[in-house]
Amino acid sequence: MICMNSLIRSSFKVLASVAMFAGASFASGMPFPAAENGKVFLEAKNSPYELEQGVVVAATDSFVVEPGVTVLMGEFAKLMLQGTVKILGSSDKPVVFCGADSAVNWNGFHVMSSASPFVIKNLVVENAFRNTVFRSSGTFENVRFVNNYYGLWIDESPDVSLTRCNMSNNRYALSVRASRAVLNETSISQNVYGLYIETEGKIEGDTDLIRNNQESDIRSEVSDLKTSKKRIRRNVWHNIESFF
């Protein structure tokens, strides 16, 4: 009888320890995985993941994300994607990239995968400073950019399409420079600035859903330059910065 009681007591202790360990690992999140066999694979069963620092997924590795995955980003988190990108959320189980602390910005995700077109579906991106697509082509479908400083900056990218995407509560929702972006049923509203077309930026598709932004819906660098007022040269800002 004594033996049985002690067995029950020790089993209880083991169960309690396992439960505490599981709770602790959930609270801190699963560490962001390294590439295995040329692939960084984020699985729903291991979600949420936590990314504290910057990570580079090399051009030789693919980045694949299952529906329902959440990645909690630390203050220094930056996701540089140089290889094939497939972020495949579903409408009922979107993928979420958000700050671990909602009061602090994380750096953002940066797609630089020139080898093959990226596919990003049903993703929610929150609280990043700047998300970029640089020298890459691909598709965003049902992607929500919420509360970022720059929602999405497309730079030197010949063919990027945004289908049924939504951008709200960003400071600068969408910026397009030296790139071609095609908008289909994409809503850009309730941001401070909506769409900014910089030098050699081209926008195709429908722009009807770019409305109700605080400062401007669509701005173009070319038309800004045509105004009689002078803009301050960039090197002036850079000098101010280096003085302080």
Binding site for another protein (CB under 8 A): 53-54, 75-76, 78, 107, 110, 129-130, 132, 134, 149-150, 153, 155, 172, 177, 224, 227, 229-244
Q: Which of 105, 151, 101, 156 is nearest to 130 (CA)?
A: 151
Rounded-to-integer distance, Cα 125 and Cα 32, Å: 17
**DSSP secondary structure of 148-188:** -SEEEEEES-S-EEEES-EEES-SEEEEEESSEEEEES-EE
From CA 47, how far away is CA 43, in angstroms rounded?
7
- Return the number of the residue (45 or 229) whose C-beta is nearest another protein: 229
Find the shortest distance in angstroms from Cβ 34 to another protein: 18
Phi/psi of residue 28, nearest 5 degrees: -90, -15
Is the CB of 222 or the CB of 240 nearer to another protein?
240
CA distances 67 to 64, 89, 93, Å, are 10, 4, 5
Q: Taking the complex as a whole, how short is the minimal distance between the CB of residue 220 and another protein, in angstroms?
A: 14
Q: Please report how close the Cβ of residue 219 comes to another protein at its closest, in angstroms.
A: 12
In whole angstroms, give the CA distance from residue 128 to residue 99: 7
- Distance of closest approach, residue 112 Cβ to another protein, in angstroms: 9
Q: How far is the CB of 18 from another protein (least distance, A)?
A: 31
Dist. CA 52–CA 44, nearest whole Å:
19
Name the residue nearer to another protein (CB basis): 198 or 217: 198
The least distance separating another protein from the CB of residue 237, rounded to whole angstroms, comes to 4
- Is the CB of 77 or the CB of 165 nearer to another protein? 77
Pick between residue 25 and residue 53 the one whose CB is nearest to another protein.
53
Contact 98, 126 (CB under 8 A): yes
For residue 87, the one-letter residue type is I
Nearer to another protein, 115 or 236 (CB): 236
